[in-house]
Amino acid sequence: MAVTDTRQRVPPTDALIRITQAIETAATLDELLLLALNELTQLFDLARGAVLLRNDDGTGQIICEFPPHTSIPAPITIDATPLGTALHSRQPLEFEDGNLAELDSALNSYLQQRGVGASLVVPLIAQDTSIGLLLLSAAEPSRHFRADEISFARLLASQLAAAIVAFRITEQARRRGDELATLNEIAATVTSTLDTHEVYSLVVQKLNEYFNVDAGSLLLINEASGTLDFVMTIEGGEERLAGLRVPLGSGIVGHVAATGQYAVVTDVKNDPRFYREISDAVGYDTRSILCVPMLAKGRVIGAIELLNKLNGDFTERDARRLIRMAAFIGVAIENARLFKQVTDGRDRLQAILNSTADGILLTDMSGRLLSANPTAAQLFEAVEDELLGQSLAEQQHKLRARAHEVASRTWDGQDGEASRTVTEYELGGTRRRFMRHFTLPVRHDDGSVYAQLELFRDITQEKELEQLRDDYTGMLVHDLRAPLTSIMNGVMMVNRGLGGPVTEQQRELLNIAHQGSQTVLDLINNLLDIAKMEQGRMGLELEPVSPYALIDRATERLMVSARSRAIVVEQRLALGLPTIEADPDKVVRMLQNLLDNALKFSPANATVTIGVNAVQHGQPDSGLPLRTTLPSGDWLVFWIRDHGPGIPAAYHERIFEKFGQVRGRRARGTGLGLTFCKLAAEAHQGRIWLESREGHGSTFAFALPISTVT
């Protein structure tokens, strides 16, 4: 006999209206699912209902069940099971007590724990995508679902799936909005303050609130110490762990920073990477950790660590959200750090510029002033801001108009650098001031020049010390000259026998004494002549002289010194050289100073060459062994070459200054001979220079005009 189904037919319209009202009135997804499952279980006279949503990894999770239960079911395998077949075919499946074993073990265990005898599994399909399953379960093992029940369940499942997707989209939008709001607050703080501590504090505070955690930390890599430094930790609203460090590679955070991969740890105590020293030191119970790396410009600069989520465990979704936020936070923090470094460096530089006694200007390549320090503004009698945009040439013109005296000189550049002009100003006022102006190029990393640094150095003290030294030297040499002349005259008279017979041995000793006295007298004369030349009071006694005679006179006196050092003095004199108008005594002293220098710095058994050549109409003869090009005109070039240690390029100009010598070498003179040569050459309207490479000897040369010196 057939069994008659006495169950009342489902009034689909009323049930659909109630479920639709639940969808419209539910404030949260959980509330919606509970209301819908309640309606469905009453509608079909069932014991239980549940919603299972599919994860990306092929598993599913029951997110809601009615009646509610205290325990959360474990993840359920969907793919490669009958559940997966139902999901992919989009067809409902019935399971009775006899075939529940075909289900996933986790789902089978769940149904048995809930006292389920039979189930109807209906796919949840929204926007042409299977998002999960609706489980409608009866306690009776033999419960069979009629065709109209299955059809109505499918209709309600489609409405429920659409509502779930809508709630998901709304929830994602809300979370994304919260995420963006958090990042906006962080960005606003980063751009509004230079205090990195304030930036760190706000970042951790906002992350703690957003992820609802007990504590959060911000750690930055310290490359100098090889550690991760806690720059900010907030626990329960209070800052902790300041100054503590974790060795790079140690702990979960060290692993994340080293690998650049995030970590979600729900059971910290059983994770071998856990670095418990920090927690033990502060007495903090760490249960779970979410840690992600912070990157800036493609490199890891630190890590964000969140501890002990307050409403469940950390999830992969939490990790993905924090990674998105960390990408922005890493760049923001790095920019804040760099900006602070720049501003700190700028403030230090500004403090230096404001306190220096030198006037410093920065100009563009067209000579317009870009910046000026207070000393420069005071020098130009202007306000700093008023100088900006002004022409440097105009300001220099005003300074020249105020100056009592202006002197300029040019230094030849070395190693391909352009020559440099140095200008000295003597300014009046309550106290005389001397300023030296020179220019330095400002270069890009590639070496190209994009600006000029104009330095105005106060050399007043230097000038005063120089004047004091000159006054003392002048007084000293004047006081020495008279008694020294008396000594030399006395030695000469004794040598001539005016005091009685003189033996050959005594005569040799008297000659040595006379020669030594003559050397001292030459030094005194050099000092006096240099002082007169610098003051423009040294006159030249010009007369026509032969270059051959000048060479002979210069070498005659130093031949004894050359032989004592076993050095050969070689002459290379061009033929047919013209006479010149010159002061023979000054020129001979120039040659003697240069030759004496060459002998001093040459090794034993070496050769020193002295030569003279003509340069007519700018064309030197083939025997002139020099690289320097002279201005057009007719010149007589005297040169002396040695095979000594050579002179570094940095000293090619400096050695012509008074007392100028190469540092690091034993002094073999006073450093005045070359100064005399320079001043004497310039007094003859000529020039003097050096060609030398360290380790390859030196050639000193000076050129005198062949035309009459006026």
pLDDT band of 660, cuts 50, 70, 90: low
How far is residue 304's CA from residue 706's CA, in Å, rounded to a whole number? 83
pLDDT band of 550, cuts 50, 70, 90: very high
Helix (H, G, I), strand (E, B) or coil at 564: helix
The CATH architecture one would assign to domain 356-458 is 2-Layer Sandwich (3.30)
How far is residue 519's CA from residue 536's CA, in Å, rounded to a whole number? 25
User: What per-residue confidence (pLDDT) applies to 667?
Assistant: 47
Measure Cα distances from 197 to 124, 307, 328, 491, 700 in Å: 50, 21, 18, 85, 64
User: What per-residue confidence (pLDDT) applies to 1?
Assistant: 38
pLDDT digits (tens, 9 = 90+) for 44-103: 888 888 888 888 777 888 888 888 877 777 778 777 777 888 888 888 888 776 565 566
**Phi and psi at residue 430, to the nearest 5°:** -65, -25
How far is residue 39's CA from residue 245's CA, in Å, rounded to a whole number? 57
Mean pLDDT of 185-205: 73
Q: Which two tokens stand for residue 523?
A: 């030094």
**Residue 548 neighbours by CB distance under 10 Å:** 13
pLDDT band of 450, cuts 50, 70, 90: confident
pLDDT band of 587, cuts 50, 70, 90: very high
CB 138 within 8 A of CB 118: yes
Enclosing H/E stretch for 217: strand 213-222
Helix (H, G, I), strand (E, B) or coil at 607: strand
* Amino acid found at 652: H
pLDDT digits (tens, 9 = 90+) for 9-53: 545 567 667 777 766 777 777 887 888 888 888 888 888 888 888
User: What per-residue confidence (pLDDT) applies to 623?
Assistant: 65
Q: What percent of the chain has pLDDT over 70?
A: 85
- Average model confidence (pLDDT) for the chain? 80
User: What per-residue confidence (pLDDT) applies to 709?
Assistant: 44
Topology of domain 193-343, per CATH?
A: Beta-Lactamase (3.30.450)
**Does the pLDDT at position 6 exceed 50?**
no
Measure Cα distances from 387 to 86, 370, 391 in Å: 83, 8, 8
How far is residue 253's CA from residue 234's CA, in Å, rounded to a whole number? 16
How far is residue 595's CA from residue 642's CA, in Å, rounded to a whole number? 9
pLDDT digits (tens, 9 = 90+) for 217-244: 888 988 888 888 888 888 877 887 777 8
CB 135 within 8 A of CB 118: no
Q: Which two tokens stand for residue 172?
A: 């994602």
**Does the pLDDT at position 685 exceed 70?**
yes
How far is residue 658's CA from residue 655's CA, in Å, rounded to a whole number? 8
The matching CATH number, chosen from 3.30.470.30, 3.30.450.40, 3.40.50.300, 3.40.50.2000, for 12-172 is: 3.30.450.40
Mean pLDDT of 650-670: 61
Q: What percent of the chain has pLDDT over 90?
A: 7
How far is residue 251's CA from residue 261's CA, in Å, rounded to a whole number? 13
> Which residue matches tokens 């949503």?
53
Mean pLDDT of 274-291: 82
616 vs 568, more confident: 568
User: What per-residue confidence (pLDDT) applies to 18?
Assistant: 73
Identical fold between 12-172 and 356-458: yes
User: What per-residue confidence (pLDDT) applies to 187?
Assistant: 66
Task: Write the DSSP string, 430-468.
Answer: SS-EEEEEEEEEEE-TTS-EEEEEEEEEE-HHHHHHHHH
CB 665 within 8 A of CB 576: no
User: What per-residue confidence (pLDDT) applies to 710?
Assistant: 40
Topology of domain 543-705, per CATH?
A: Heat Shock Protein 90 (3.30.565)
Closest CA to 294 of 323, 253, 330: 330
574 vs 479, more confident: 574
Helix (H, G, I), strand (E, B) or coil at 328: helix
394 vs 23, more confident: 394
User: What per-residue confidence (pLDDT) applies to 702?
Assistant: 93
How far is residue 76's CA from residue 474's CA, in Å, rounded to a whole number? 106
Q: For 467-495, b where at least 16 C-beta lie within 10 A, e where not — what string?
A: eeebeebeeebeeebeebeeebebbeebb
Q: Which two tokens stand for residue 392?
A: 């440097």
pLDDT digits (tens, 9 = 90+) for 404-433: 777 777 655 544 555 677 888 888 776 788
User: What per-residue confidence (pLDDT) applies to 499?
Assistant: 73
Task: Write the DSSP string, 67-119.
Answer: S--SSPPPPEE-TTSHHHHHHHHT--EEE-GGGGGGS-HHHHHHHHHTT--EE
**Residue 72 neighbours by CB distance under 10 Å:** 11
pLDDT digits (tens, 9 = 90+) for 466-516: 777 777 766 766 677 778 777 878 878 887 877 778 788 887 888 888 777
pLDDT band of 104, cuts 50, 70, 90: low
33 vs 636, more confident: 636
CB within 8 Å of 274: residues ≥ 6 apart: 251, 252, 265, 268, 286
pLDDT digits (tens, 9 = 90+) for 116-167: 888 888 998 888 888 888 888 888 877 888 888 888 888 888 888 888 888 8
- The 8 Å CB, 24+ separation contacts for 187-195 are 187/328, 187/332, 190/332, 190/333, 190/335, 190/336, 194/336, 194/339, 194/340, 194/343
* Amino acid found at 536: G
Name the residue ranges covered by the structural domains of the chain: 12-172, 193-343, 356-458, 464-534, 543-705
**From its phi and psi, is residue 297 left (phi > 0), alpha (psi between -120 and 50) or beta?**
left
CB 160 within 8 A of CB 134: yes
> Which residue matches tokens 């109409």?
617
**Does the pLDDT at position 3 exceed 50?**
no
**Residue 17 neighbours by CB distance under 10 Å:** 11
Closest CA to 289 of 251, 331, 333, 238: 251
